[in-house]
Structure 1
Amino acid sequence: MKDRKLNQWLWKWHFIAGLISLPFVLVLSVTGAMYLFNPQVEDDYKSSMTKVINNKASKLSYQEQWLIAKKNMKKPLNSMIVSNDNQLATEFIAGRFSHKKSVFVDPNTGEVTGKFSPKDTWMYTIRKLHGELLGGSFGTKIIELIACWMIVLIITGLYVWWPFKRGVRGVFLPRLNEGKRTFFRDLHAVLGFWFSGLLLLTLAGGLPWTDVFGGEFKWIQKVTNTGYPKTWSGRGLTSEIEGEALTLDKMIEIAKGQNLKGELYVGLPKSEKSTFSVFNKTFDLDAQRMLHFDQYDGSLIKKHTWSDVGVLMRSRMWVMAFHQGQFGGWNFWIMFGVALMLTIMSIAAIASYILRKQKGTWGVPKVPKTFSVSSSIIIIIGILCVLLPLFGLSVLLIYVTTLFQRKAAQ
């Protein structure tokens, strides 16, 4: 049996945290569902740049295309995508993440068919709204704080949902014939129960992008040496300068010979001493490879497989890919379903609150004055405060504010 007084105390804080978080949760769920379609939006935007007419018997060499791309980009080129489709322009890439920019070269004519950056589409605004409320670093911290409290909302919600007396209706299925307030309350609680595990996994996939938790996680990776190997990106690896460097065409021939799964990339050397890199992007993570070749004789200098990556980085990359629905159709529809259910849960909570609330009050649940927080609950809160620093800061502020209010009331 549950502790009724503890149930009332958790219900009170679930109610307050939910009331404050709901507008932000709605923004996160709606923009998250929209951003799942980002690859399709970007592909549609780039289609006029990428599609070319293959009407020539001979093409420009990759080396020639590389020179053309370099002349048309201010930033140094990092890599290129190797494609076997004769109807596609060759894509050369500069920069990383949101600063990434691509230039497309028609291999038939040498014409630059266009340039693309993720910032060019309206999805970039959706991403910024989802990740930082269009508020930069401050907005990112607000999103992180809401994500932390969402974890607390799930934990407290599960305790409050757990029935004093077990039964099916109102616990595992919403009650449909007992009034609007009961229906919306059950819809919120029952969906919360069924989707709680997926919601926690989704939040775990979003937290690595945050400033405070994400920064703390990266620090732990560095200290424990559980991130990428130092040579994964080619750092510290050099080519022996001897004779002429390999042409890009020869390097692509070597890259294709590796028979890597997914989209094939060739990393371009940054200097005379650096290496060519060959890597693939596939969300069969175990199939990912990173190979570094001497740019003069084409010999393999370093080979990395996914097993070389530290356990924390592997876990992080998996939950982040899951968060973005990148493991295929099943993952996409699960994440879309999570976003949809979170939106419905939020609307149901608002409806339930409006129907419950009495005029002139906030409707905050009352807690018996005789209730005192047990040591076990304090330990659980302490653990959450350590794991989620912004949650810990908010708890400290709540505690200090409560002390001042008590002193003022005396």
Structure 2
Amino acid sequence: MFKKDNKLNQWLWKWHFIAGVISLPFVILLAITGGIYLFKDTYEAPKQAHIKVVTVEGEAMSYQEQWQLAKPSLHKAPNTMEVPTEANQATAFTSGMFSHKNSVYVNPYKGEVTGRISPKDSDMNTVRKLHGELLLGKFGTKIVELIASWLFVLIITGIYVFWPGKKEGIKGFFRVRFKQGKRILFRDLHTVFGFWISVLLLMTLAGGMPWTDVFGSSFKWVQGVTNTGFPKTWDARGLKSNVDGNAISLDEMVKLAKAMDLKGEVSIGLPKDENGVYSIFNTTFDLGAQKRFHFDQYSGKQLVNHNWEDVGILMRGRMWFMAFHQGQFGTWNWVLMITVAVLLAFIAIAALISYLKRKPDKKWGTPKVPSQFKAGYGVMGFIVLLGIVFPLFGASVLVIALVEFFRKRTKKEQALI
């Protein structure tokens, strides 16, 4: 235990309060939508079964023929094909990436397209957009980024303010007072549960920040400058096949991909044109097992291959936290994220109830700070650092500081009148 500075504690409590007022209503929404989105695969599987699952009957047509069959069903030529792992699995051909991704599924026995799936048309995509941009497009994305930035402040200041003093000791980390009124009860529930999941909340936030506009763009820029992102040829950029004779069939590449026995979902990158290359890669959240191979589409010669170790440190960290954020490391991770979502919503609601119980009529009830108190250089330096790392947070602090400055100035002028 350490002795806290009471004046600093009051000052941090004030900023914790401000951060809470700014973020709590949104935090509840983000926690609920994030928790719902974790059920995406379970929700969509039965709805998509009639497209993805086929009846095994007769002999399957070649992958080369299926490729040709899929092309007219997509607006753009397919760039990847997922290698089926079961006999009753329709073959998926995909064009585009992220929000522009479209997949068509081919029944290899009947030689027909079973259907088309685009993530942007699903119910869960609406949930994702509500979670990531409040259904407000780019403007909403920036609001969510601002809220997430303030959440870092909320958590860090909350840990300091909650930290028990010497008199309370270890018991202070677990104390919930049930008999001192609802305000105290909900305050204790908020602080105790909030403290014990604070590290998990910081990790979850770290996993969400790469999707943001301002911070995300800055992070990518740093990756580029420090050369700590993906290798340039990770996605076959800059690689070309030597046009010579007939191209290797897709069936030969599938046979090679199966022989590699790669972990997870295996896909084949399809040549875009006569100079394009074939790629074989796997998608697995055992990140260390991810591999990529690129081949000349005529000779079959391997042009380059990459392991996870070839990926820069910042990109590896980014991908790990993003996967953690989505609960994709297995059952333990999924259960952990569900728990975090439920507890985050609970502690936010508990804080709101506690605040409403103590809030004076017609006032915000902002905690008072001794007028003579001035934050030290270390604290101010930390705020400046946060403002640089999270630019929208920095901009909002400047706005708050200006409002506070003019409010005090107006009070002084009125006092002189």
User: Deviation digits for residues 272-331 of structure 1, max 9, x if unmatched?
Assistant: 111100000100001000100111121211110000000000000000000000000000
Say which SS state the counterpart of residue 338 (structure 1) adopts: helix
Question: Which residue of structure 2 aligns with residue 351 of structure 1?
Answer: 353
1:314 aligns to what SS in structure 2? Answer: helix
The whole-number CA distance in structure 2 between the counterparts of 1:196 and 1:71 is 51
More deviation in 186-195 or 393-402?
393-402
Q: What's 1:252 paired with?
A: 254
Q: CA offset at residue 188 of structure 1?
A: 0.3
Residue identity matched to 1:175: R
Secondary structure at 1:326's aligned position in 2?
A: coil
Instruction: Give the aligned partner of residue 136 of structure 1.
Output: 137
Cα deviation per residue 1:58-117 (whole Å; 9 max; x = unaligned)?
A: 211111110000122121201011013111111100110111110011000111100000
Partner of 2:44: 42
Counterpart of 1:385 in structure 2 is 387
Q: Is the Cα–Cα contact under 8 Å of residues 281 and 290 in structure 2 kept in the other structure? A: yes
CA–CA distance in structure 2, aligned partners of residues 377 and 50 of structure 1: 55
- For residue 268 of structure 2, give the secondary structure of its aligned residue in structure 1: strand
Summarize deviations over 1:178-224 as a string: whole Å, max 9, x none: 22211100000001110000000000000011011100000000000
Q: How does 1:165-176 map to 2 (within 5 A)?
A: 165-176=167-178
SS in 1 for 2:279: strand
2:415 corresponds to which residue?
none
Amino acid at match of 2:348: S
- Aligned residue for 1:21, secondary structure, equals helix
Question: Matched residues in 2 for 1:230 and 1:42: separation?
Answer: 34
The one-letter code sitting in structure 2 at the alignment partner of 1:133 is: L
1:150 partnered with 2:151 = yes
Task: Tell me which residue corresponds to 1:330.
Answer: 332
Q: Shift of the alpha carbon at 1:173?
A: 3.3
Provide the secondary structure at the position in 2 that maps to 1:360: coil
Match of residue 222 from structure 2: 220
Task: Choose the corresponding residue for 2:293, options 291, 297, 301.
Answer: 291
Equivalent pair of 1:171/1:186 in contact (CA under 8 Å): no
Q: 2:407 aligns to what?
A: 405
101-110 or 352-361, which deviates more: 352-361
1: CA distance between counterparts of 2:13 and 2:29? 24
The alignment yields a C-alpha RMSD, in angstroms, of 1.1
**Matched residue, 2:237:** 235
Paired amino acid for 1:148: S
Q: Aligned letter for 1:149?
A: W
Q: Does 1:105 align with 2:116?
A: no
Contact 2:164 2:172 survives alignment (8 Å): no
Which stretch of the first structure deviates more once superposed, 394-403 or 214-223?
394-403
User: How far apart are 1:367 and its partner, in Å?
Assistant: 1.3
3-state secondary structure, aligned to 1:206: helix
Secondary structure in structure 2 of the residue aligned to 1:55: coil
Letter in 1 for 2:396: S
Match runs of 1:1-400 below 5 Å: 1-56=3-58, 58-164=59-165, 165-400=167-402
Structure 1's 96 and 335: CA in aligned 2 closer, same or farther, altered over 3 A? same
CA distance in 1, matches of 2:204, 2:28: 15
Normalization by structure 2: what TM-score?
Answer: 0.96
How many Å separate the matches in 1 of 2:189 and 2:172?
9
Which deviates more from structure 2 when the two are superposed, residues 190-199 or residues 162-171?
A: 162-171
8 Å contact from structure 1 (residues 103, 112) kept in 2: yes
How far the C-alpha of 1:170 sits from its partner, in A, is 4.7
Counterpart AA for 1:89: A
Please tell me the residue identity of whatever aligns with 1:59: A
- Partner letter of residue 84 of structure 2? S
Q: In structure 1, list runs of 5 or more residues that go unmatched.
A: none
- TM-score normalized by structure 1? 0.98
Q: For the Cα contact (< 8 Å) 1:5–1:367, is it kept in 2?
A: yes
Higher alpha-carbon deviation: 393-402 or 163-172: 163-172
| 1:289 and 1:305 in contact (8 A); partners too | yes
1:223-268 Cα shifts (integer Å, max 9, x gaps) = 0010001011111111121111011111111111111111110000
- AA matched with 1:222: G
AA aligned to 2:101 is K
Encode CA deviations 1:98-144: one digit per residue, 9 max, x unaligned.
11110011000111100000122111110000000011111101000
SS of equivalent residue, structure 2 residue 303: strand
Give the Cα separation in 1 of the matches to 2:222 and 2:16: 31
Kept in 1: contact 2:70–2:106 (CA 8 A) = yes
Equivalent-residue separation in structure 2 for 1:272 and 1:360 (angstroms): 71
Distance 2:278 2:92 in 1: 17
AA of the residue aligned to 2:97: R
Structure 1 runs (4+) deviating above 4 angstroms are none
Q: Is the 8 A contact 1:42 1:118 kept in 2?
A: no
